[in-house]
Structure 1
Amino acid sequence: MEIIESARPVYAILVSLLAVVLISFSGKSPNLREMWTMLAALLKFGLVVSMLPTILAGKVIEYHVTRVLPGLDIAFRVDSLGMVLALTASFLWIITSVYAIGYMRSMDEHAQTRFFMCFAIALSSAMGVAFSANVFTLFVFYEIITVTTFALVAHEETPEAIKGARRYLAYLLGTSIFFFLPAMFLTYNYAGTLDFAGQGILAGKASYTIISIIFVLYIAGIAKAGMMPFHSWLPAAMVAPTPVSALLHAVAVVKVGVFTVIRILLFVFGVDLLSKIGLGTYLAYFASFTIITASIMALRQDNLKLRLAYSTISQLSYIILAVALLTPSGITSSMMHITIHAFGKITLFFVAGAIYVTTHKKNVSELNGIGRQMPFTMAAFTIGSFSMIAVPPFGGFISKWYLIMGTFEAKLIPILIVIVVSTLLNAAYFLPIVYAAFFKQPESGEVHGIKEAPALMVAPILITAAGVLVLFFASPLLLNLVKIAVASALGGIY
């Protein structure tokens, strides 16, 4: 594999940090502040796209920044897996920024300068995770995201927001300190390196018992992936403004979590080692428990954002389940679902925010007939919902198809039952919303004067909803990128 040395991944990270400085000096000029946000988002996406032809050619881009301590380097490596997250996050930052501008202006939110500064730092850190060449670099940016998004969760500064933000920080920072950090120390102690490698770095370096302990520490330490029992930070974070919820669920935090799980499983442990010990099967069943339990909990939520939050917990575990199968189709599903879920879920959260801005309604039980007053918004919600359920021709069908193929390859038929049951549960908590919006009669006088949200909010909703459709018909483009990453994880065979 040819290695190209280039500082472009560093530039992609730094561009939003530069924007933070410019935004901070533009607080008294909202138009200028928002201009810096959009310019940084567009430039970041352009830098990421500029690296795509190199990665599709089977090459990687590397850049070493500095050595902190012997064996602890800040270094970047752009490969096909990192490119999946980077493309998704950088493109959706553009869309989310437009939506956030419309939302924050419509709600006349306070501390908007701080909001956009933290937003930019979070996206910069997501790029850092995507392009990390080793566990240490990944850990540094993983923690920066935690601290930055804490301020976003607490944005409203109400007692409820502060309480939710504290739980958010306690779970994410606590699991990192008590589990992720020891796992990293043990990895370095036994492997002698923290650099990611295609076949992993722990095979033959320690006993199966020690490796199993390191495995459990990593899984427990990556709470951003939302697996039970380290999941309650995610519903608690729903006190944040809707653009933050969209950021958490689609662009940065949870996608960084599942990406980290994939990166650690495939490039620290390796498929062969995990298969020999059987750790993948254990993780698959553990993820299955989260999928079903979170889906049942979603059914019980009347608050729309909470229903979406528990749906996210379930959908994230699809990604973990898929990679835990350790088969070509399973790993393909996990990587593709990072992007496909991002577009579907961000659409659903955008809709929740648009409904709140227009009607100040938060509950599913209050949405009867709203599709007649907000047809574009609720049509987008329908598209996002169908993708979550995996109905063709929507993007979610593609990743679930590969997931089902992966269960056959792994010969784990009980997992197939989990997928079928969870799909039915997905339908059970999404379809009633769609039905009520378009076919139920509203309460007398409730919908008079209701109309679509401002254009700066509706346009992003329609773009991400269209993306859900595009990902179905253009899935070969994403698949080509994913296949390179899968081949790297499987030793060049796919």
Structure 2
Amino acid sequence: MNWGEALPLLVVGSSLVPGLVIFFLPEERVATRTTLNLAGAVVKLLLVGVMFFGLLNGQQYQTRLPLLPGIELVLSAEPLSMLFLSLSAALWLVTTVYAIGYLEGSPYRSRFFGFFSVCVTATVGVALAGNLVTFLLFYELLTLCTYPLIVHRGTEMAKRAGRDYLVYTLGGGALLLLSTVWLHTLSGTTEFRAHGFLSGLDASLHPTLMLIFVLCIAGLGVKAALVPLHGWLLKAMVAPAPVSALLHAVAVVKAGAFGIIRIVYDVYGIEFSQSLGLTLPLAVVAAVTILYGSFRALFQDELKRRLAFSTVSQVAYIILGIGVAGPVAATGGLIHLVHQGVQKITLFLCAGNLAETLGIHRVSEMNGVGRRMPWTMAAFTVGVFGMIGAPPLAGFFSKWYLGMGALASDQGWVVWILAGSSLLNAAYFLPILYAAWFEPAPTRWPDERCLGQQETAWMLLIPPLITATTVVVLGLWASAPFSLVEWVSLIVSRAGSE
């Protein structure tokens, strides 16, 4: 096995091996567990960097392992997979640092960090999957290893949330399995290709292919939290803050959205999807999800629940960009895969800081908190304005490309969806900022645990400051050479040109 074949396996194994070791560590081996966590995250990021620059220089990275006759496990690095892979590797390092600080002194840390590492392994496998079978295997592994993280606290509420999560996600996985088998039967392959592998099939199969497309989107739409398949996400907020950040910004919902991108681009092909009339209904479902999530967020007093409805809305921007089926809108959707991840992880890490430091769980408890925790709320403020789409932050460019792409594709109705959603974003986020910065603080906080001059533990404070800075940098860097926008434009042109 040469370097090009070995590197994808090393990227996957850099989190799997430490995770398996961590499972067997006694709870008191804190230093060893911390070293393994951070070493795995750093090594993974370095390997992804090597892969990224190798890809730029024309190197090919692909691993093929036989599973069954005619079916292989394929890990392949190409521009689209590197987009999701880079996001996962970078944010996982940040989340690992945060989780180590967040869970200090908590029980069952070896179990938590073992599943935490296997979870990133599954996410990386989803990103690197070179065919639908490989995608399905890692997609279902992601379901199984996320469940213990959701129920980690062991309360009755956590157990109910975990059961609901399994019902939703295993049901979605069953639909995806059915679709995968059906597609392999019809086409003889499940290999991802730049323009899809279905367009050459006989026209008599087109109604069947339309049905399979619906099944695929339904199966993937569970994890992507498309309405009405989003219910599990709200209940899963009972999980610890690092898990919430993981669910919303890096792993689960992004795996669903990324899977939909794969189906449209690499299974059906964007042109064939349009010819079958599949892209417009997909855009409509995304638009409904955007408005529904934003509207429901208005009425949530629990902070994490408000952020969860925001995720329902924001992830649908990615699907909307794909559904519009124009290159500019697709660019907006794909860059939002990254922008939403960085912005949303900032908000959830800050929410975790408020809960762990002051016992704040509700919006109504946040009066004056900006003066008590100024750095945390400064990072939260950046994340909020990024979500609203204020220039020059990252979120502005997502919405700009989505809007310009919709107009270029003669789908002006999308602009009204974006405008309405942005107004709703402002309506449910800005009152939080006003209360935090301008309302008088209470005489005592619900449960203050970090007394004196210290804002919060440094391992809780540094990660959201890093991600908030990244939101600013991604916005300022958007028009520069070698920017994220330029990389995504390459992906879109590759998918749309024969």
Instruction: Give the 3 Å change call, closer, same or farther, for CA 114–446 of structure 1 in structure 2.
Output: closer
Q: Map of 1:344-359 to 2, 5 A cutoff?
A: 344-359=343-358
CA offsets 1:230-284 (integer angstroms, 9 cap, x no match)? 1011011100000000011111111111111101110001011111122101110
Q: Map of 1:271-286 to 2, 5 A cutoff?
A: 271-286=270-285
Instruction: Give the 3 Å change call, closer, same or farther, for CA 125–446 of structure 1 in structure 2.
Output: closer
Q: Which amino acid aligns with 1:198?
A: A
Corresponding position: 1:208 with 2:206: yes
Provide the residue aligned with 2:292 in structure 1.
293
From 174, 183, 194, the equivalent of 1:187 is 183
CA offsets 1:403-423 (integer angstroms, 9 cap, x no match)? 111111221111111110001
SS of 2:194's partner is coil
SS of 1:75's partner is strand
Provide the residue aligned with 1:227 in structure 2.
226
Q: Which amino acid aligns with 2:391?
A: P
Corresponding position: 1:63 with 2:56: no
Provide the residue aligned with 2:322 in structure 1.
323
**1:133/1:196 contact within 8 Å kept:** yes
**1:4/1:59 contact within 8 Å kept:** no
From 163, 168, 173, the equivalent of 1:166 is 163
Instruction: Give the 3 Å change call, closer, same or farther, for CA 163–443 of structure 1 in structure 2.
Output: same
Corresponding position: 1:485 with 2:484: no
From 121, 124, 128, the equivalent of 1:127 is 124
Corresponding position: 1:101 with 2:91: no
Instruction: Give the 3 Å change call, closer, same or farther, for CA 196–385 of structure 1 in structure 2.
Output: same
Provide the residue aligned with 1:217 in structure 2.
215
Within 2, Cα distance between the matches of 1:197 and 1:184?
15
Provide the residue aligned with 2:16 in structure 1.
17
Within 2, Cα distance between the matches of 1:364 and 1:439?
14
Instruction: Give the 3 Å change call, closer, same or farther, for CA 278–232 of structure 1 in structure 2.
Output: same
Within 2, Cα distance between the matches of 1:136 and 1:438?
50
Provide the residue aligned with 1:469 in structure 2.
472
Provide the residue aligned with 1:51 in structure 2.
51
CA offsets 1:362-382 (integer angstroms, 9 cap, x no match)? 000110000000000000000
Within 2, Cα distance between the matches of 1:154 and 1:374?
29
Q: Which amino acid aligns with 2:496?
A: L
Within 2, Cα distance between the matches of 1:414 and 1:7?
47
RMSD across aligned C-alpha pairs, in angstroms? 1.6
Within 2, Cα distance between the matches of 1:65 and 1:72?
9
**2:366/2:435 contact within 8 Å kept:** yes
From 122, 135, 140, the equivalent of 2:137 is 140
Corresponding position: 1:377 with 2:376: yes
Within 2, Cα distance between the matches of 1:7 and 1:311?
39
**2:360/2:445 contact within 8 Å kept:** no
Question: Displacement, 1:442?
Answer: 2.3
Within 1, Cα distance between the matches of 2:443 and 2:42?
45
**1:275/1:326 contact within 8 Å kept:** yes
Q: Which amino acid aligns with 2:404?
A: M
Provide the residue aligned with 2:87 in structure 1.
88
Within 2, Cα distance between the matches of 1:328 and 1:211?
24
Within 2, Cα distance between the matches of 1:73 and 1:268?
17
Ranges in structure 1 where 5+ consecutive residues have no aligned partner: none
Instruction: Give the 3 Å change call, closer, same or farther, for CA 200–441 of structure 1 in structure 2.
Output: same
**1:56/1:481 contact within 8 Å kept:** no
Question: Displacement, 1:60?
Answer: 4.0
SS of 2:103's partner is helix
Within 1, Cα distance between the matches of 2:234 and 2:272?
35
**2:63/2:75 contact within 8 Å kept:** yes
Provide the residue aligned with 1:424 in structure 2.
423
SS of 1:156's partner is coil
CA offsets 1:418-439 (integer angstroms, 9 cap, x no match)? 1100010011111111110000
Within 1, Cα distance between the matches of 2:414 and 2:334?
18
CA offsets 1:460-483 (integer angstroms, 9 cap, x no match)? 110010010111122342123212
Within 2, Cα distance between the matches of 1:166 and 1:446?
34
Instruction: Give the 3 Å change call, closer, same or farther, for CA 57–390 of structure 1 in structure 2.
Output: farther
**2:318/2:337 contact within 8 Å kept:** yes
Question: Displacement, 1:212?
Answer: 0.9
SS of 1:6's partner is helix
Q: Which amino acid aligns with 1:50?
A: V
Within 1, Cα distance between the matches of 2:37 and 2:142?
18
Within 1, Cα distance between the matches of 2:262 and 2:294?
26
Provide the residue aligned with 2:436 in structure 1.
437
Question: Displacement, 1:57?
Answer: 4.0
Question: Displacement, 1:361?
Answer: 1.5
SS of 1:194's partner is coil
**2:359/2:445 contact within 8 Å kept:** no
Within 1, Cα distance between the matches of 2:20 and 2:351?
31
Mean CA deviation greater in 414-423 or 437-446: 437-446
CA offsets 1:335-357 (integer angstroms, 9 cap, x no match)? 11111111100000000100001
Size of the aligned set, in residue pairs, is: 486
Question: Displacement, 1:65?
Answer: 1.8
SS of 1:487's partner is helix
Provide the residue aligned with 2:150 in structure 1.
153
**2:196/2:265 contact within 8 Å kept:** yes
SS of 2:107's partner is coil
Mean CA deviation greater in 361-370 or 183-192: 183-192
Within 1, Cα distance between the matches of 2:206 and 2:438?
57
Mean CA deviation greater in 407-416 or 95-104: 407-416
Within 2, Cα distance between the matches of 1:414 and 1:59?
42
Tell me the percent identity. 39
Instruction: Give the 3 Å change call, closer, same or farther, for CA 4–414 of structure 1 in structure 2.
Output: farther
Provide the residue aligned with 2:461 in structure 1.
458
SS of 1:411's partner is coil
CA offsets 1:126-174 (integer angstroms, 9 cap, x no match)? 1111111100000000000000000000000000000001101110011
**1:81/1:335 contact within 8 Å kept:** no
Question: Displacement, 1:26?
Answer: 3.0
**2:197/2:267 contact within 8 Å kept:** yes
SS of 1:398's partner is helix
Q: Map of 1:1-40 to 2, 5 A cutoff?
A: 5-27=4-26, 28-40=28-40
Instruction: Give the 3 Å change call, closer, same or farther, for CA 239–212 of structure 1 in structure 2.
Output: same
SS of 1:7's partner is helix
**2:73/2:133 contact within 8 Å kept:** yes
Q: Which amino acid aligns with 1:482?
A: V
Question: Displacement, 1:491?
Answer: 2.0
Within 2, Cα distance between the matches of 1:45 and 1:344?
20
